[in-house]
Amino acid sequence: MLKHRIIPCVLLKNWQLVKSVQFGSFRTIGHPTTTVRVYNARNVDELIVLDIDASLNDEPINIEVITDMANECFMPLTIGGGIKTIDDVYSVLNAGADKIAVNSKALTSPSFLNEVATIFGAQCVVASIDIKKIDGQYRVYNKKFGVLDMDPVELAQEYAHQGAGEILLTSVDHEGTAQGYDLELLTLFRDKLPIPIIINGGMGTPTHGTDALACGADALAAAYIFHFTQYTPRMIKEELMQHRYPVRLS
């Protein structure tokens, strides 16, 4: 039976891994390779690293750091941030990543996902959507472009149609708050996508994980809980298992 995945999702900034709160106020959580080594030892299911400098400031992707991290990683590694061309995808995958996450580039040209999926396969394409609630309505948000008048569900459907293999949904309002995932948002997405949904933003206790799975999430991404609480990935999985959600414990 397929297990629900627990996926640390961390940000790369100035050669450090950082954790943000609602996309601002960054706190350093450690050196990239050391952090990856710890996660690898803790037997997490997967790892997502988003290079925020590359996407925001149009800086080149930090291939050196990605290579170092990949060398420590015997689990699937997703790299995002600043990926704009097929060449970028090549270099990130060659550095040892297994999947790429695309956000800004897909907003301006969704067919880029199709191009990547055709060459490298849908399995390596994670379409990332940041979402903010504005006047009671969920809208697509982007660090560079701000709030966009786009419906996130429709956008995700378009991405799936273009060949994305997974969708990473991040709630900007919940991110870094440890107050729980945005369950209302998840409910909107329920049964709307043919591909897996990774929910991100807000996990502060293992119970938040069971809440999100009950609302239709396939996988749980988180960072705060691993760095600022005593909960371990294993404790989260044990909680999920008690609620009869299949997880990988060994």
Partner 1 sequence: MNTLSDNIVIIDYKMGNLRSVQKAFEHIGTKAVISNDPEVIQNASKLVLPGVGAFKDAMHNLSSLGLIDLLNDEVIRKKKYFLGICLGMQLIASKSYEFGETKGLGWIDAEIVRFDFSAHEHPLKIPHVGWNSASYVNPSPLFEHIPDNSDFYFVHSYFFQGDKRYVSSTTDYGIDFISSVHKENIFATQFHPEKSQTHGLQIIKNFVDLKSDAVC
Per CB under 8 A, 153 contacts partner 1: no
Report, in Å, the least distance between residue 5 CB and partner 1: 5
Per CB under 8 A, 218 contacts partner 1: yes
Q: Of the listed pieces 40-48, 50-58, 104-112, 178-186, which binds partner 1 according to CB under 8 A?
A: 40-48
Report, in Å, the least distance between residue 121 CB and partner 1: 4
Please state, in angstroms and rounded to a whole number, the distance separating the CA atoms of residues 115 and 236.
37
Residues from 93 through 112 that contact partner 1 (CB under 8 A): 93-98
Please state, in angstroms and rounded to a whole number, the distance separating the CA atoms of residues 31 and 170.
24
Q: What are phi and psi of 226, to 5 degrees?
A: -80, -20
Please state, in angstroms and rounded to a whole number, the distance separating the CA atoms of residues 107 and 185.
19
Query: Is 130 an active-site residue?
Result: yes
Per CB under 8 A, 194 contacts partner 1: yes
From 45, 51, 88, 130, residue interacting with partner 1 (rule: CB under 8 A) = 45
Report, in Å, the least distance between residue 202 CB and partner 1: 21
Per CB under 8 A, 133 contacts partner 1: no
Of 56, 125, 53, 51, residue with least CA distance to 93: 125
Q: CA-CA distances (angstroms) from residue 116 to 40, 106, 109? A: 28, 11, 12
Among 45, 130, 182, 211, which one carries the catalytic annotation? 130
Per CB under 8 A, 187 contacts partner 1: no
Per CB under 8 A, 70 contacts partner 1: yes
Cite the active site residues: 130
